[in-house]
Structure 1
């Protein structure tokens, strides 16, 4: 590895990138090693260098920004309970950083410039030091500018200190990503000038009075599933495109563990192995009760571990298809190294529905965009909207082991400036639905409602208050925000108080799904799971969706809170959550600052208004 890095630095120094292209990808290893095809580093001390290096994809050479000269960066293999040191050296001409996604580290080790530390200057080395308090599948990436899009990411596997409850014979780490030969700043500039310029899936809407006309009046497309599509992106598995054919080997009868990480900048992936069921055993690094399924949708930054058990000595396709089905990455799983499976044809492009618009069929009142707010089922308007819908999908299941969870009336305090193009006329819980576009496939699909934590939740207290955050946008101007305020205009952070149990409710008023990530803590997804609610660090909020999570505020510090679609975060869909110690013996609900609406909850977990910071 050291010699290869020196070779790449020499290549860059002499400008002989094309001459060395025949050597690329230099990191490709035999899949019989049972790893992901890049170096695996283990121990308690790691030396990581962030720099630029050439990569070759589909016969074309580009320049990547990444770690130790590989795309993705090296697999970091840690052990639960160890004290680790990460010496990160910046070889770039600009500041950089590494964020340890999902790891519960001290806030000054979290790696977010301007929030938890200053960043790493060119030529400097920053020493990350922390104890590894957990196990599972995680990843790391830059939190500086748009470097993540250029290849600055890599996987982390933390082996448990005790016995792993998941039995398997072989494992593969699969890092999914989207690569572009167009520089990310140019992509962002294009989106800002014309938000639809990189969406090549747009249909022709010629009927001014029908459904197409309604979409046209709202200046939206029923195919606004992805801002950037396969026309711009090459989709990768461990740095390999479909043409590069990443290869995995198994022996019939083995239990194979796939640790799947969505490390893309902007792409939600539909994951499946046609003809081979998957048993989900872990979500976002934490063990869940096994769920067998045939396909699931992964938000950006989510991780899923699955067990597959092929019994036939034949090749299978591992398929990661973009949510808008404009492209895919396919790898081969077979009994012999070097096999190549036929990639399945891309499926039909899905269309957004009236439900995604935040309206029921026949409901024209939401056409004004700004004219309506959310209503609970106790109002006549909501009752009319709900006709013809599955009521079970529209409200969260009552929890027989804890607080009842019901839809609530929300009167949002949203900044009604140019950054808010619409407010959904009707929102509902969509945890019982699969990912967008997967509701009509002929096989089983995973939903959030199916996930149950393997171990009982530690904190059984009902939340003391609720904070409601609206996900807002003006897609035409490519403005993204929380509550209509982009990050550069936020004047104070969202306050959590150390030790409190707080409910965070996310309401999506936009037409796109958003993977929302909170640094520094896991949240319990309120999905009817009793005391086995799945704990996650990232949750995908569908259009017109209302998602609630319960959080125990344990880790004092300032923590980034943002959409993990890179260009959405860059455009302003980010805030900071400050976990602060109580100043005295009063309860957190009694200490809320003036002007911050605090919503206490009764012993049933029901709120009495909206709390917002």
Structure 2
């Protein structure tokens, strides 16, 4: 662990091994994940980062509110750290919570350049516990991210080894033959849940795969705080501890009114603080299962190091449905006998009105082109819905609508305007964008005025969930109790769904706004939000 007001970090190459997989990695101070950094609110920190790679590097302090020039996005907020150079980040710590740090250069994040960052409160911590453990969830592959992207460009489902089979059809577990033919006619695959899967990924807790069995200790009867960080490149995880209820006490570093559940989905780049109270003298499994069920990692919470928790079987992989296509069946004409006529184009509503992406009246501001395959005809707010793959499990599942901010929201103003932001793609060609424009093609920034209050509507026109992250700000999800809406920096937008959040643009500068699936961001699903004073040029 690194602590204090002067910290040195060294970025370099190493070799990482888990199970039978071994390959090149990018490490910080020789470890993967990078060292835990533990800081104190209301103090100032200096972090000297030296780059020993043969390429430019950077570190972004994910979730921390820092001056724009310290945010760590090369070409946007600072020039990057060249080989052999040292850059010193310096900023005040104005809030506490569970955060993390990672590279924003190339695809170094997918090679191991990520680590946990905790800011303890200046005074007494209001979340009382007897013991705590930091859990960094991640995915790691011996195949370089650039190679993964090349394969996905050739075939969008390259890593999907869970497609529907004849045996699944005969057993009645998968779609019927008619449904399969209808989805195939739309060039859509209901098993396309994750782009990169357990076919190549090993899933890790604190750099340990299931064979290495990371173990956190407890004494029966203790109140244990788990700070869980999803630092994956491409994997959303479903997290549970069989036999223990989970009490959620913070999300993305912000305290929430305690809410109990049995399982939660942690999207890429999110953090959750959880309290558990194991009473028995036994080993409990910390289970992080990929949402496509292509693999999982088991770590152990136990009274003694030699104890090992059982490894559960992978659950049946989920299938996407009509709502994931943005077709809200509750608002649609179900046709004859309750069946939707899927022979009609997916981008045509039941009243025959064209919903084509080529009709600018349908989605103003969306740029047409080969990178946009379709619009969701009827996107709906899914914040109160169970997330992908957990729709039918027989226990409690956390939804965003369950979250209530512990403290009143700091800005009670009604937003003065709304901004629609479409998450767009041609999944078959592995092209990802925002409003039909890619970052590399010069997409225009989203301009905001300093201290302006706006409502942002994220509309997911794809059949894949997207964890969307805004740098430099917290926003309030438009769900739950008004005045105590959950404050986050990352939100997972379900397929065919929409998410609204209210934002006070209180940080002047240029801020990255992107999908935190690394390959989606690098393929173009990123924009810049500019915050300027009234009268200043954008």
* TM-score, length-scaled by structure 1: 0.82
> Which residue matches 1:602?
none
> Which residue matches 2:418?
466
Deviation for aligned residue 1:265: 0.2
TM-aligned CA distance change 1:440 to 1:495, over 3 Å: same
Which secondary structure does the structure 2 equivalent of 1:568 belong to? helix
**C-alpha distance in structure 2 between counterparts of 1:434 and 1:465, whole Å:** 29
Deviations 1:358-411 (A, max 9, x none): 223644479534445xxxxxx9789xxxxxxxxxxxxxxxxxxxxxxxxxx974
**C-alpha distance in structure 2 between counterparts of 1:252 and 1:456, whole Å:** 35
Following TM superposition, where does structure 1 have runs of at least 4 consecutive aligned residues deviating by more than 6 angstroms?
Answer: 205-209, 379-382
TM-aligned CA distance change 1:217 to 1:190, over 3 Å: same
**C-alpha distance in structure 2 between counterparts of 1:265 and 1:276, whole Å:** 28
**1:256 aligned onto 2:224:** yes
Which runs of structure 2 are paired with 1:154-193 in the superposition (5 Å)?
A: 154-193=115-154
> Which residue matches 1:544?
496
TM-aligned CA distance change 1:365 to 1:111, over 3 Å: same
TM-aligned CA distance change 1:236 to 1:222, over 3 Å: same
**C-alpha distance in structure 2 between counterparts of 1:321 and 1:231, whole Å:** 14
TM-aligned CA distance change 1:60 to 1:425, over 3 Å: closer
> Which residue matches 1:611?
none
**1:92 aligned onto 2:53:** yes
> Which residue matches 1:457?
409
TM-aligned CA distance change 1:265 to 1:511, over 3 Å: same
Give the conservation status (yes or no) of the 8 Å contact 2:182–2:343.
no
Query: Which stretch of the first structure deviates more once superposed, 411-420 or 41-50?
Result: 411-420
**1:44 aligned onto 2:5:** yes
**1:480 aligned onto 2:432:** yes
Give the conservation status (yes or no) of the 8 Å contact 1:369–1:421.
no
**1:284 aligned onto 2:252:** yes
Unaligned runs of 5+ in 1: 1-39, 373-378, 383-408, 585-590, 594-613
**C-alpha distance in structure 2 between counterparts of 1:503 and 1:267, whole Å:** 28
Question: Which residue, 196, 204, 211 being the options, matches 1:236?
Answer: 204
Question: Which residue, 386, 391, 397 being the options, matches 1:439?
Answer: 391
Question: Which residue, 18, 27, 30 being the options, matches 1:69?
Answer: 30
Unaligned runs of 5+ in 2: 170-174, 354-360
**C-alpha distance in structure 2 between counterparts of 1:367 and 1:299, whole Å:** 33
TM-aligned CA distance change 1:60 to 1:419, over 3 Å: closer
> Which residue matches 2:293?
325
**C-alpha distance in structure 1 between counterparts of 2:364 and 2:344, whole Å:** 19
**C-alpha distance in structure 1 between counterparts of 2:263 and 2:186, whole Å:** 32
TM-aligned CA distance change 1:367 to 1:266, over 3 Å: farther
Question: Which residue, 463, 472, 477 being the options, matches 1:520?
Answer: 472
Residues matched between the structures, number = 515
Deviations 1:151-187 (A, max 9, x none): 0000001000122111100000000000001111111
> Which residue matches 1:296?
264
Higher percent of residues as strand? 2
Q: CA RMSD in A?
A: 1.9
Give the conservation status (yes or no) of the 8 Å contact 1:203–1:221.
no
Which secondary structure does the structure 1 equivalent of 2:440 belong to? helix
Give the conservation status (yes or no) of the 8 Å contact 1:208–1:214.
no
